[in-house]
A and B are shown apart, each in its own frame.
Chain A
């Protein structure tokens, strides 16, 4: 168990640029989640994958956001035409099928700053 890893840890970009983040979940976990967290707030749900299928997306996820999980392994989250309001910590989490373990394992996050 090497844990959930996210890359990069920090990203600084200019408004209007596109950014892409990567998440590698724990290998035997079939569920993968993306969350966004701003200072003083708890993580907010963005989207959820079971294997390669994206089963739920939050209304927070505008058309500028897209997430993929090809082959049910790693996942990417892309933000197009970034805005200053996109500045936040983007967290990825994975879990096993409920019944085995409902707990979420989080990565250390990608801190995005949009200038």
Chain B
């Protein structure tokens, strides 16, 4: 069956460190993969998109890698800040109409 797996346990890190979140998928061949941020009681907000032919994408303190052989994406936040505390969702688009979301990983950055 098709699955998207993200760390179900919350990630707790110290301010200034790099947070690394993992997204693994099975039985999909996504045309591209996206990462979204979601704060409590709000809708997800788009952060980054990486296509199947791209290995890495950066935007300010954010970096995403995409390994279609391992079927894995890593999402990094460098120099993390308490304001980065949120749930981060991995999402796949396989070429149809649907974007499929993982359950998300909660990140807590302590000052």
Contact = CB atoms under 8 A, between A and B. Distances in A.
A50 B97 CA distance: 9
A91 B36 CA distance: 14
A33 B99 CA distance: 10
Nearest to B45: A106
Contacts of A104: 36, 44, 46, 91, 99
A40 B9 CA distance: 11
Contact of B103 (A41, A48, A91, A108): A41
A86 to B, nearest CB: 19
Given A56-B97, A108-B42, A40 B103 contact: yes
A55 B96 CA distance: 11
Interface of A is mostly: strand
Interface in A69-115: 91, 93, 102-109, 111
Contact of A48 (B36, B49, B98): B98
A45 B100 contact: yes
Interface of A: 4, 33, 35, 40-45, 48, 50, 55-56, 91, 93, 102-109, 111
6 contacts: A40-B103, A42-B102, A50-B97, A104-B99, A108-B43, A109-B43
